[in-house]
Amino acid sequence: MYPPNEAVPVLPLPNPNRLQEQSVSIRDYVDLLIEGRKTLLIALAAVLTVTLVYLVLAPRTYKADALLRIDKNKALLAANLHGDNNQTPAEAESPRAQREVEILRSRSVLGKVVDNLNLAIEIEPSYFPLIGETLARKHDRHDGVAGAWWGFGRWAWGGEKAKVAAFEVPDRYLEKEFTLIALEHGRYQILAPNGAELLTGEVGQVVTAEIGEKTPVTIKIEVLDAHPGTHFELVRRTALSAIETLQKAFAVKEVSKDTDILSVELKGRDPEQLAKSVNDIAAIYVNATVNWESAEASQKLAFLESQLPIVKERLEKAEQGLSAYRQQHGAVDISAEAEILLKQASDMETLSIQLKQKYDEQSQRLESEHPDMMATNAQIKRVNGKLAALEKRIKDLPKTQQNMVSLSRDVQVNTELYTSLLNSAQEQRIAAAGSLGNSRIVDFAVTPEKPYWPKPGLLLAIASLLGLSLGSAWVFLRHSLQRHDNYPALLEYQVGLPMFAAIPHSKKQRKLAGLLGRDKDGGILVNEDPLDISVESLRGLRTTLEATLANHESKVIMVSSPAPAMGKSFVSSNLAALLASIKKRVLVIDADMRNGRLHETFGIGKQPGLSDLLAGRASLGEVIVSLPEVGIDLIPRGNMVLNPAELLVLGELAETLEQLKSFYNHIVIDSPPILGATDAAILGKHADATFLVVKEGRYTAQELEVSARRFQQVGIKPNGFIINDMKEGSSYYPYYGYAYQRADQEPAAAAGWTDKYHAVGDWLTKQLERDWVPAAAETDERS
């Protein structure tokens, strides 16, 4: 026989070091996610719903593309053709794709596209807000114009078409929205941005309206297919704004590195317009490159043709001078040394003239500080230096030979220069006639059949991952904000109290608690659902208590908690009912004279109770209420008092309990929380067993430890603690869920994926079981 409040010997506590090592595992996180599966499903469903709504309502975006080939060998061909031997090889051979990308995106190219296709004029039907465009998209254009839904004739519902050939407005009306209203018999009406009627016209005619500005409003509608009364939004944009809009939707990229194949892409909402725009961009760019190449060849040809008469005149004068000198002095022989000097001087002078021509040609397109210009100038200086040295040697010859060498050199130089200019001019004529540019269109754009965006598969996959991620983040955040300690075995070691029971969460009890909140009879779980898994856990607690207090003639059991809303009243009432079910006389005392609600749980009205008994306002027989449907008796809290602790001390509580022990086998006391009032410490002195009830997610080891210390300070040693409301799949109590029910009530698919998951988890737990059992020496010492 154990004296009151003496703890029953229990198994030795687990090894704390190994508990800490195993305090967190992957299974804990998986269990936490399984426990929060409703949150995961809600988050997933919410994100998927938003994604599906977006997929239905989002406007469809199409993409048209074309392929261009950039010929990087064109520079080498041009170099050989023009005789430009001084061009840098790296520049000739390097890919030109990156430079061509910027040219394609330039305003000079896109501006022509805007002008050719009238992209500065935007006209769109007015759709019903939010869902109108989606409904219009469902309509087949081959069926004509769709009828108005619900009588809303001003909105477009599918099949409407309008094309504007010209639309000019004053500058202050640019970028402002006009309204076009379709009328009967191919007529239309234009409303100004302020809503005033501006003009009325007919399809195919140019209509002008004076509005007091220098520039009138001019418009020509080519196509208008809509029911009378349908509204269109009409905007005339500036050229720069239209170009910038086109640049944002336009993309150019190299297909792969060093291939010089460019992909030209344009995104928008009108598939036919997209294909036309891309093909127009490609054609304008190719024509521009051809024109640039032809203009360059023409410029060089003009320069050569301007030099030909000058060189020809020089040649004729040199020939005449040489002929006159020979007639005057007769045939003059030139020595071998003079021949050599003549040849070298002729070559140097020819090269000098060619370099000067090259310098003049470069000066027309390059700055003087350009590296090519500086290199050519340096070559001219070196050649002139050599030519001066040769002339000095020629001056050492006899006077007759000097004159003969000089005249012959002039003739020879001008002859070579004139011949070279003739060849170069002919080559430039061929180049200008056959210039094809450095780009080719490989693939023309075609009208896209399917929208490029949105992509349902991609968006749904991203939404699923996002929903699961958000749900998991919310589960872990909520878990981290809860006040609890993770593992009961570690909690037993930290507090020094054994855990007597872990009561799972009961959905039935939640419904009963909801009935109490609506002022209806809630009842107790034992009577409403005897096979509930929470009741089975309480039966285990009852069996433990019967063994603990087996030798006591009267067993006073007090149930308390560290703080309110832990479930001590639930444990007290259902434990009493289970004790009564085994033919025990049981009395339940609601000792929480501040907030006790057991009278509501058992469905009785307010009447005299414990406070009235201790205050002397009622007798023992007047406060005991018999509950035959449950099989127990109840002493409710009674009327509200301001000094419950004083009543417990001065109200002859001990004598009353001794009197009750003579009749009842068990007395269950539902006491106030120990951390909130001293009532529990006073009541615990008269109890044979004291238990602390904590709710999962609402407690910490420090709270439980302080509660036990409060009892110990007045000489009371709590027998243990009870964890209430354990969630399904909870990682805090790994043996939760071993329910054993009747076969005729077990569903056919009871052994579902959850049971299989727990079976695998239990097998892994058994493999690590040796880490949780203390060594033999430690067991003996603890015993």
pLDDT in tens, 40-79: 999 999 999 999 999 999 999 999 999 998 875 454 334 3
Q: How many angstroms separate the CA atoms of 114 and 121, rounded?
A: 9
> 253 near 247, Cβ under 8 Å?
no
Structure tokens at 505: 């969460």
Mean pLDDT of the chain: 80
Rounded alpha-carbon distances, angstroms, from residue 700 to 27, 673, 692: 22, 15, 13
What is the 8-class DSSP label of residue 749?
T
Task: Please give the structure tokens belonging to residue 250.
Answer: 């336009």
Which of 117-121, 404-408, 729-733 is predicted most confidently? Answer: 117-121
CA 361, 366, 372, 375 torsion: positive or negative? positive
pLDDT recorded at residue 754: 53
Q: Give me the pLDDT at residue 492, please.
A: 76
Q: How far is CA 251 from CA 102, 245, 247, 446, 596, in A?
A: 10, 12, 8, 17, 73
Residue 277 one-letter amino acid:
S
Between the alpha carbon of residue 472 and those of residues 30, 32, 35, 480, the distances in Å are: 10, 9, 11, 12
* pLDDT tens per residue across span 695-713: 876 777 788 888 888 998 9
pTM, rounded to two decimals: 0.62
Residue 487 banded pLDDT, cuts 50, 70, 90: low
70 has which bridge partners?
Answer: 439
For residues 264 and 281, the answer to whether their CB atoms sit within 8 Å is: yes
Cβ(452)–Cβ(267) below 8 Å: yes
Among all chains, which residue has been given the structure tokens 């500005």?
213
Per the CB < 8 A criterion, the answer to whether 473 and 47 are in contact is no
Distance CA 379, CA 85 (A): 13
Q: Are 490 and 25 in contact (CB under 8 A)?
A: no
State how far the Cα of 762 lies from the Cα of 742, in Å rounded to an integer.
23
| Contact of 610 with 591, CB cutoff 8 Å | yes
Phi/psi for 694 (5° steps) reads -125, 150
Under the banding of pLDDT at 50, 70 and 90, the label for residue 400 is low
In contact, 227 and 182? CB cutoff 8 Å? yes
Name the one residue in this structure whose structure tokens are 């107790």: 524
Encode 130-144: b = buried (16+ Cβ within 10 Å), e = exposed. eebbebbeebeeeee
Half-sphere exposure (Cβ direction) of 489: Cα atoms closer than 13 Å:
22
**Furthest CA-CA distance within the chain:** 168
Cα separation, 560 vs 683, in Å, equals 10
CB atoms within 10 A of CB 547: 9
State what percent of residues in the chain have pLDDT above 70.
76
pLDDT in tens, 169-190: 999 999 999 999 999 999 999 9
* Alpha carbon distances (Å) from 374 to 90, 296, 337, 367, 379: 18, 22, 35, 10, 9
Closest Cα to residue 390, out of 318, 353, 339? Answer: 339
CA nearest to 708, candidates 484, 482, 490, 498: 498
Strand pairing report for 121-125 and 62-70: unpaired
**What own/partner pairs with CB < 8 Å and gap ≥ 24 does 91-98 have?**
95/70, 95/258, 95/260, 96/70, 96/72, 96/260, 96/438, 97/70, 97/254, 97/259, 97/260, 97/262, 98/254
- Pick from 293, 299, 177: nearest CA to 231: 177
Quick: pLDDT tens for 201-223: 999 999 999 888 888 999 999 99
654-697: per-residue pLDDT in tens? 899 999 988 999 999 999 999 888 899 999 999 989 999 988 76
**615-640 confidence digits (pLDDT tens):** 989 999 899 999 998 999 999 999 98
Would you list the DSSP string of 190-240? EE-TTS-EEEEEETTSEEEE--SSSS-EEEEEEEEE--TT-EEEEEE--HH
